[in-house]
Amino acid sequence: MEKLFFDSDYMEGAIPEILKKLIVTNFEKTAGYGLDEYSESAKRKIREAIANPDADVYLLVGGTQSNATVIDSLLKSYEGVLACDSGHIAVHEAGAVEQSSHKVITIPNRSGKVDPADLKQYFELFEADANHDHEVPVGAVYISHPTELGTLYTKQELKDLYEICQKNNAYLFLDGARLGYGLAAKTDVTLQDVAKYTDVFYIGGTKVGALFGEAVVFKNRKICPKFFTLMKRHGALLAKGRIPGIQFDTLFSDDNYMKYARHAIALADKLEAGFRAKNYQIAYESPTNQKFILIENTKMEELKKKVSFSFWETYDKDHTVIRFVTSWATREEDVDRLLEII
Amino acid sequence: MEKLFFDSDYMEGAIPEILKKLIVTNFEKTAGYGLDEYSESAKRKIREAIANPDADVYLLVGGTQSNATVIDSLLKSYEGVLACDSGHIAVHEAGAVEQSSHKVITIPNRSGKVDPADLKQYFELFEADANHDHEVPVGAVYISHPTELGTLYTKQELKDLYEICQKNNAYLFLDGARLGYGLAAKTDVTLQDVAKYTDVFYIGGTKVGALFGEAVVFKNRKICPKFFTLMKRHGALLAKGRIPGIQFDTLFSDDNYMKYARHAIALADKLEAGFRAKNYQIAYESPTNQKFILIENTKMEELKKKVSFSFWETYDKDHTVIRFVTSWATREEDVDRLLEII
Amino acid sequence: MEKLFFDSDYMEGAIPEILKKLIVTNFEKTAGYGLDEYSESAKRKIREAIANPDADVYLLVGGTQSNATVIDSLLKSYEGVLACDSGHIAVHEAGAVEQSSHKVITIPNRSGKVDPADLKQYFELFEADANHDHEVPVGAVYISHPTELGTLYTKQELKDLYEICQKNNAYLFLDGARLGYGLAAKTDVTLQDVAKYTDVFYIGGTKVGALFGEAVVFKNRKICPKFFTLMKRHGALLAKGRIPGIQFDTLFSDDNYMKYARHAIALADKLEAGFRAKNYQIAYESPTNQKFILIENTKMEELKKKVSFSFWETYDKDHTVIRFVTSWATREEDVDRLLEII
Amino acid sequence: MEKLFFDSDYMEGAIPEILKKLIVTNFEKTAGYGLDEYSESAKRKIREAIANPDADVYLLVGGTQSNATVIDSLLKSYEGVLACDSGHIAVHEAGAVEQSSHKVITIPNRSGKVDPADLKQYFELFEADANHDHEVPVGAVYISHPTELGTLYTKQELKDLYEICQKNNAYLFLDGARLGYGLAAKTDVTLQDVAKYTDVFYIGGTKVGALFGEAVVFKNRKICPKFFTLMKRHGALLAKGRIPGIQFDTLFSDDNYMKYARHAIALADKLEAGFRAKNYQIAYESPTNQKFILIENTKMEELKKKVSFSFWETYDKDHTVIRFVTSWATREEDVDRLLEII
C-alpha cells in the first residue's frame, strides 16, 4: 500500500489551473523581466484584492530570497532587522540577511510570535541605553503570518505592532510564505488588514498552489523606488518574468488562492480533530495547516512505516513532537487513511 | 498581420517535453530542496554528458543568481573576479557580485572575449607591481561562452585561459547562459571541453528551452563542499527543487538540449545568410543565435513597424547596429517572413 | 576638590616611555605601512614573549577593528562566528562583524564566558540537526580574556575550548583588549598559554598603556597569508605604521606591558578590599581591573558628586550595580581618596 | 654621508606642536570616543575655518578608512560610487569600498581628475540607456584634491562637478588626504570653496603634520545623522578619541596646518625649479608637493645610491618617471643637497 506524505506543503507541483495556463500561453512572445501583460494583470488583481491602488507589487521566486531582498530594501547600511528567535530569517536561511551585511536582532518568541509588549519594551530599553550609539539600531521588524509554529497574529496585535514600528521609525515587514493558509484559518485578520497594518508583506505562492513564486507588496512606491534594480542585484529578477506572472494571475482569478487554501485548512482541521478523537495531545495549538502532535516514541516508529511526517523536537526521552502538514494538494482520502492508521 | 519578434531568446515558455513532464509528475510527492529523484536524475545525466563522475552539479534559477553565487563560492573575502569590460557581471547585473563584497576587475574585451595574452599580462603586471598588496588580487576569472557579442572561444583559447588561471591560483568560471547555442554553432569546442578546461561552468536552461534554470557544474566537490548552504544564503535554493530537476532531466533526455539548440542555430544562420544576400553589413561576426546587423536609420524605423528587435548601439548619425535573436522556439516561417520584409 | 575618575581604562594618554620614544624618533624617516624597523622590532619581541617564532604579528589600531578584520580573515563567506551573548562583538560593535556579512551566533554566557560544555553541546546539536545545511555553520569561536565582566578563563578552560574548536574545524580567537590586566591578575594563565591555546589573539594596547593599538598574533602565517591586504581593505593599515610599532616596541621593552598592568591590578585589588571592608557587596566577582559594586541608589547619587564611575545595570528599584575601573594611569592617592569617600 | 629621502609624505612623526600637546595633556582624564573637549575644540575650529556652523565634523584615523566609511554613509545599498580610473578608491585600497558591497564605477581620468564634461556625459548616457535599471546607479562621485597625480581642480571645475552631482541626485565627496598641500599651492581654490562645493570632504592629517587622522566634514548633519554608529561599525571610532582631537585642535591653532603645508610647497617648488634648471623634463605638471620627473635609467640607478624616491612608471626602455615628495618635515638643506647631486 502506498505511503502517505504529510511532511510539508511543497511536495507537489502546482494547481492544475496554473499548468493549464502555462500550456495555453507557452508560445506567446512577451517582454522579459516582469514587464509582460501577465505580470501586469497579476499585480493589478493583487492591488484590487487589497484595495490599495498605490501598492507596489513585485513577483519574486522564493521565500528566503524575498526576505533578504525586501529587508535589504528597507534598511540603511548600519541598521538591523528585529525578529523573534524562532523567526525563519533568524535560524533557517543560512545567513541570507547577513549576506547583505545586516544583523538579525532577536527577542524571545511567544508562541512563535513577536509580542507587541516585548517589542515596545525593546525599543524603550534601546532608547534608554546610554551606549546605544555603539549598537545596531532596528530599522525594520520581521514577522511571519502564519508563524513557523503555525500560529496567527490577531488583528489587534498586527495593529499594535504597526503602531509601535511607526512610532520608532521602523518598517513592519510580514513574511506571508503561508499567508493563504493563515487567511483561510479561524482568524479576524483579512488580506486587507495585512496590507493595512504592514509596510510591506508577501503573498506566498510556493506553498499555496504555485510551482514557485512570492508576491511582494509594498504599501507604496516611495518605500523603495528602485526595488527592480535591487531584485536584479539579489538574483531575484527572472528573465521570463511571465512565469510567476501567469501563476499569480491564475491564483488571483476565480478565488483560486483562497479556495485552495481553504481546502488545506479544512483537511488540517479534520486531521487535528481525528488526532484529538484518539486522545493524542496537541503539542502546540495551531489553527493553520501545520499540526504539532505529541507522540510516544514506540508509536512514532510504527507510524513511520506507513506515513511520512516531520520530526519537530524531542519532548522527553519517551515522547517526540512531530508535525503533519496539509496543503492545497492534500487528498481527503489520505487524511482519512491517516486517521485510521493512528 | 502579426508582428514578428526577434528581440531575445527568453520570450516564450518552455519546450513542450518539459511542460508535458510537469503535468505528468504534478501530484507526485517528492522531497524538497533538490533532494528529489528528478534532480538526482538530471545531475546524473549531466555528469554522464561531460564524462566526469566527480562533477558536483547544482540546479539554480537564473543567470545573475548563478554568477553571484558561484563567484562568492570561489573567492576569499579579499579577492576579486576578473572579467572583460563587456562581461555580463561587469555591466548588467546591478552589482550582484559586489553584493557579496567582491570587486569585478575588468580588462578590455576582444570581440567580447578575455584574450589569453591579455590575461597573462594582467597577472604578470600585478605580480610586478610593488604595491600589489594594496590591491585586490584576482581569485577567479569569469568568461561567458557564447559571449555577450555572440562570439565563441576556440578550444585552444579555453585551454590557454585555464592554464593561465591554474598557474596563477585563480579559478576559471564559464557562464553558459547560452551554452547550447554555442555548442550547436560552428565550433571546435564540445561540452566535454567546456567541462575539462574550466573549474566551474553552467549550462543555461532559461534561454535554451526551460521555463527557467541553470545547471552549475563544479569539476569536483572540493571546490566548494558547502555550495548547498551558499545557495540557501543567496536565495537560490528552491523549496520545490524538483521543478528545475524535471526540466534539466528532460533537457538531457533524447538529446533535447542540443536538438533545440541546433534548431535555433540553423535559423540564425538562415537569417544571417538572408541579410547578407540583401547586402546588409554584419556589424559583429557572431556564429551563434545573436546576429548584429548594421542598418540605415530610415530603414530601421520602417522595419520597426513589422518586426521587433533589439537596439544594440548607435553606429553613426545615419546608422544603427541592431540585434536579431533566434531561439529554440523560433519558427522557420517567421524567419522567412522577416527575410521577405527586409 | 578635584573629581575622581574611575569610569574606564581609556581616559588618559600613554605611558611616558611611549611619549618619550615618539619624540626621540620623530624626525627619523621610515618606510610606511608597518614595514619600518620599529614595527619589526615590536613583532620580534612579541614572538619571543610567546616563544613562537612562527607567529605572524600585525599591529592594528583598535579593538572593534581588530575583531572585525580578524574574524573576516578566519571565515568562509557562509560561515559565522560564535560568541556568548555578552560578547563585545555581539552587542557593542554596531554590527562590525555583520559589515563583513558574517552572522554572530550567540549562546548564553556563564559569568561572561563561553563555557566549554555549552560549546561542545552547541556543535553536537548543530551536527544532529537534520536541517543544519540551512543554517550558518560556525567557522570561528570568539572569546575575550578578560571578559566584559572582568572574569578570566582558567588554563583548563582555554585548553578545552581550543580542543573543541579543533575537533569541529573552527578557529579559536581571543580578544585581549585588556589582556595585560588579565595576565597580571590572580590566574594560572600565562601569555604563552594564551598563544598556545588559540589560533589567533590580540594584545590590547589601547587600554594598557598605549595611545592606541592592538597587536594581532596568528599562530602561523598559513591561517591568513594575505592579512596585510585584508587590513588595507578594512581601513586598518596605518600609513605611519611606525606609530603603533614604536608603541608596542616600548610596551614589550623593560617589562613595561606587565609592569603597568600589575600596577592597575594592585590598585584594583586595593579598591575591592576597601569596598569590602566597608561592607559593600561585590555584584560580580572579577579578579581584574574592573570591579562591580552593588550600591544603594541614594548613596550612589551622593557619590556621583565626587566620583565618576560607570552605571552597569539596575539591580532592583533601590539598588544599582556600578563599575569602577583602574588602569596603568591610576594614582594610588586617588584610590585612597575614593576609599575615604565611600 | 646620510641618504636623502623623498619617497613620500608619511615618513616622519608629527609636527612638534602636536607632540608637545600630547605630553602636556597626557594625564588629563577625558571622555572616550571623541566626546572629549579637545575633539570638540578641533571641530569648532574647523567649522569656523570653513565658515559653516552647520557642518558635522568627525575625526577618523586614516584615508582608506575615511573613504570607505564616508562612501558607505552616502549610498543606498544598490548604489555605486563613481571615480576616475586613477582614483585611490579604484586602485589602491584593496577593495575597501566593495567591502561595504558598493561598486566603484570608473571613467578615464584627465590629468588625474574627473572632468565635468565627462561626468555630465556619463549621467546622460546612463539615463538614456534603456537597460539602466539592470545597472548600478551612481549615488556619489569621488574626487581627490590634490589628485593622485598631484594636480588640482579649479574653482570652476569644483563648482561644475557639484552642480552636475546635485542635478543627478548624487553626493560629491572630496578626498583631501593631501588637502593642505593643495590649498598652499598656486590655486584659486580656498578651504571654504572646498566646503561649499562638496557635500562631504576630509582634511588630511596623516600626510600634513599629524601622527595620523583625517577630519571628515559633512555639509550638515542630515546627510548621515548616524555617522558615529557607522564609524563604530567600520572600526573607525577610537576609544581615545582625544588623540586625533588634540592633533586637529593643534593643527587648526596658530595657522599650523597651512603654515606647514606652505613649507612643503615652497620646497617642492624649489625642487622642481632645480630639476628644470638642470634640464630635466617634468613628466606631469603638478603644482603640489609631488613632483614627477622623467629620468634616464642609467642616471636613475646612480641617483638611487644617494637618494630614495618613488618609482612611478616606465616611460620607455631607457627612461623612467620617478616621483619626489616633500612634506611639512622636509628640510631645505636636504632639497639643496638633492639639487647638487642631480
pLDDT at B158 over 70: yes
Phi (first) and psi of residue A136, to 5 degrees: -80, 120
* Residue D1 pLDDT grade (very low, low, confident, very high; cuts 50, 70, 90): low
DSSP string, B132-156: GGGSPPEEEEEEESS-TTS----HH
> Closest Cα to residue B340, out of B312, B308, B306, B290?
B306
pLDDT of residue B84: 98
Is this complex's ipTM strictly greater than 0.90?
A: yes
* Grid coordinates given for D154: 579649479
Say if the Cβ atoms of D134 and A232 lie within 8 Å.
yes
CA C243, C248, C254, C260 torsion-angle sign: positive
Residue type, B299: K
B290: left (phi over 0), alpha (psi -120 to 50) or beta: beta
CA distances from D308 to C35, C190, C210, D7, D304 (A): 15, 44, 31, 6, 6
How much of chain A exceeds pLDDT 70, in percent?
100
D159 near D147, Cβ under 8 Å?
Answer: no
B51 three-state secondary structure: coil
Instruction: Name the residue in chain A with its Cα closest to that of D227.
Output: A78
Task: Determine the Cα–Cα distance for residues A228 and A231; give it in Å rounded to an integer.
Answer: 5
* Grid coordinates given for C229: 591586504
Q: Where does chain B have alpha helices with state H?
A: 16-25, 37-49, 63-74, 88-91, 96-99, 116-128, 155-167, 179-184, 191-196, 227-233, 242-251, 256-277, 297-304, 332-341
Chain C touched by B101 (CB under 8 Å): yes
* Residue A160 pLDDT grade (very low, low, confident, very high; cuts 50, 70, 90): very high
C91: closest CA of chain A, how far (Å): 6
**Average pLDDT over chain B, rounded to whole?**
97
Taking residues D159-168, what's their average pLDDT? Answer: 98
Instruction: Name the residue in chain A with its Cα closest to that of B17.
Output: A23
> Closest Cα to residue C176, out of C165, C168, C187?
C187
CATH of D4-10+258-341 among 3.30.1180.20, 3.40.50.720, 3.90.1150.10, 1.20.140.10 = 3.90.1150.10
Say if the Cβ atoms of D102 and B95 lie within 8 Å.
yes
Chain D touched by B103 (CB under 8 Å): yes
- Cross-strand partners of A314: A320
D146 near D181, Cβ under 8 Å?
Answer: yes
Residue type, B109: N
- Domain spanning C16-251 has what CATH number? 3.40.640.10
pLDDT in tens, B204-243: 999 999 999 999 999 999 999 999 999 999 999 999 999 9
Contacts B130 to D, Cβ<8 Å: 311
pLDDT in tens, C213-256: 999 999 999 999 999 999 999 999 999 999 999 999 999 999 99
Phi (first) and psi of residue A141, to 5 degrees: -115, 130
C161 near C141, Cβ under 8 Å?
Answer: yes
Contacts A228 to D, Cβ<8 Å: 133
Chain A touched by B145 (CB under 8 Å): no
Q: Choose the weakest-confidence range: A227-231, B1-5, C326-330.
A: B1-5
Chain A touched by D5 (CB under 8 Å): no
Task: Determine the Cα–Cα distance for residues A291 and A281; give it in Å rounded to an integer.
Answer: 11
> Residue A290's CB: how many other CB atoms inside 10 A?
25
Strand residues in A38-181 grouped as ranges (E): 56-60, 80-84, 104-107, 138-144, 171-175
* Residue A1 pLDDT grade (very low, low, confident, very high; cuts 50, 70, 90): low
Phi (first) and psi of residue C35, to 5 degrees: -95, 10
pLDDT of residue B1: 66
Radius of gyration of chain C (CA): 21
pLDDT in tens, B258-308: 999 999 999 999 999 999 999 999 999 999 999 999 999 999 999 999 999
pLDDT at D275 over 70: yes
Contacts A77 to D, Cβ<8 Å: 72-73, 75, 77, 100, 230, 233
Q: Which of B98, B133, B134 faces D98 most closely, judged by CB atoms?
A: B98
* Residue B2 pLDDT grade (very low, low, confident, very high; cuts 50, 70, 90): confident
A133: closest CA of chain C, how far (Å): 8
**Average pLDDT over chain D, rounded to whole?**
97
Chain D touched by C10 (CB under 8 Å): yes
DSSP string, C78-104: T-EEEEETT-HHHHSSTTHHHHTT--E
Task: Determine the Cα–Cα distance for residues C140 and A247; give it in Å rounded to an integer.
Answer: 43
Taking residues A15-27, what's their average pLDDT? Answer: 98
Chain C touched by D327 (CB under 8 Å): no
Task: Identify the DSSP state of A318.
Answer: T
DSSP string, D148-210: TTS----HHHHHHHHHHHHHTT-EEEEE-TTHHHHHHSS-S--HHHHHHT-SEEEEE-TTTTS
pLDDT at C2 over 90: no
Architecture (CATH level 2) of domain B4-10+256-341: Alpha-Beta Complex (3.90)
Contacts B229 to C, Cβ<8 Å: 78, 133-137
pLDDT in tens, A70-114: 999 999 999 999 999 999 999 999 999 999 999 999 999 999 999
Task: Determine the Cα–Cα distance for residues B185 and B173; give it in Å rounded to an integer.
Answer: 21
Size of interface C-D (CB pairs under 8 A): 146
Task: Determine the Cα–Cα distance for residues B231 and B41; give it in Å rounded to an integer.
Answer: 20
Touching subunits of A (3+ CB pairs, under 8 Å) are B, C, D
Q: Domain A4-10+257-341, CATH 3.90.1150.10 — does that match? A: yes
Chain D touched by B104 (CB under 8 Å): yes
Residue from D212, D216, D231, D326 whose CB has the most chain C CBs within 10 Å, to mutate: D212
CB proximity under 8 Å: D 204-243 to C? 206-207, 211-212, 229-230, 232-240, 242-243
pLDDT in tens, A31-65: 999 999 999 999 999 999 999 999 999 999 999 99
pLDDT in tens, A272-297: 999 999 999 999 999 999 999 999 99
Domain ranges of chain C: 4-10+256-341, 16-251
Residue type, A157: E
pLDDT at C1 over 90: no
Instruction: Name the residue in chain A with its Cα closest to that of C135.
Output: A94
C232: closest CA of chain B, how far (Å): 6
How much of chain D exceeds pLDDT 70, in percent?
100
* Grid coordinates given for D288: 603640489
Contacts D228 to A, Cβ<8 Å: 133
Task: Determine the Cα–Cα distance for residues C75 and C72; give it in Å rounded to an integer.
Answer: 6
